[in-house]
């Protein structure tokens, strides 16, 4: 069984870090992993995307994929490339604090998370991608919170170690305040050929538990 996950956003949102954390967390849980990061030359505001393949056996898919079962979308800019690859019934984790694009709610499963707002409440808007990652782990159970935390510790370089407590808090916040799915990623019901993109629930089955308060 393999799952393709793409994290997309703009430079400065921690997209590549989130991808590394997820990949390392899967390794902690003895999964097979491949990862590919794509990003533009600008440090802020440019395109950035991380694709992670996670499996419970030697992988067949390369890290450059034509279809994906899950997408973590931090910003509407540049996400059309990801949108074009979505499998039917793909799971979309949307940063509703910033996202202003169109969503096909009849074709995909959507969980909206005001990740930037929650990260700001936790102490830093820059940790928003980790809030969204924590929420994704909870919704899918693709990895556990302990593995995510270890993946974070292995991903942060020593000169950024001062950010570890806040980043751990962001992961935990997204994980603790999210709805759990009725079809975990590694359940016997999750077919190897269909991935998370065919979870047999309607979009409304995923409560919009993260709608930002106005």
| Domain parsing of the chain, residue ranges | 2-204
Residue range 159-172, pLDDT digits in tens: 989 999 999 999 99
Count of C-beta atoms within a 10 Å radius of residue 66 = 9
pLDDT digits (tens, 9 = 90+) for 92-108: 999 999 999 889 999 99
Instruction: Please state whether 89 falls in left (phi above 0), alpha (psi between -120 and 50) or beta.
Output: left
CATH among 3.40.50.300, 3.40.190.10, 3.50.50.60, 3.40.920.10 for 2-204 = 3.40.920.10
Q: Quick one: average pLDDT of 135-140?
A: 96
Render pLDDT for 25-51 as a digit per residue (tens, 0 to 9).
Answer: 999 999 999 999 987 655 566 788 999
State the alpha helices, DSSP H only, in 52-114.
80-83
* The pLDDT of residue 173: 95
| Model pTM above 0.85 | yes
Q: Are 76 and 98 in contact (CB under 8 A)?
A: yes
Highest mean pLDDT: which of 4-18, 41-55, 171-185? 4-18
């Amino acid at each position: 069984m393999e799952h393709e996950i793409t994290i997309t956003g703009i430079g400065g949102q921690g997209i590549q870090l989130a991808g590394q954390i997820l990949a390392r967390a899967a390794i902690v849980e003895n999964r097979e992993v491949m990862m590919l990061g794509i990003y533009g030359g600008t440090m802020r505001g440019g395109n950035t995307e991380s694709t992670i393949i996670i499996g419970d056996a030697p992988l067949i898919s390369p890290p450059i994929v034509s279809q994906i079962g899950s997408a973590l979308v931090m910003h509407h800019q540049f996400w059309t490339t990801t949108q074009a690859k979505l499998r039917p019934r793909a799971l979309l984790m949307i940063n509703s604090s910033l996202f202003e694009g169109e969503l096909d709610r009849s074709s995909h499963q959507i969980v909206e998370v005001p990740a930037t707002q929650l990260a700001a409440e936790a102490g830093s808007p820059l940790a928003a991608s980790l809030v969204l990652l924590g929420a994704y782990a909870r919704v899918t159970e693709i990895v556990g919170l302990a593995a995510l935390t270890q993946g974070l510790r292995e991903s942060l370089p020593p000169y950024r170690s001062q950010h570890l407590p806040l980043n751990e808090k962001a992961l935990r916040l997204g994980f603790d305040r999210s709805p759990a799915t009725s079809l975990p990623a590694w359940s016997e019901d999750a077919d190897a050929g269909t991935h998370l993109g065919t979870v047999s629930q309607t979009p409304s089955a995923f409560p919009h538990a993260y709608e930002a308060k106005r």
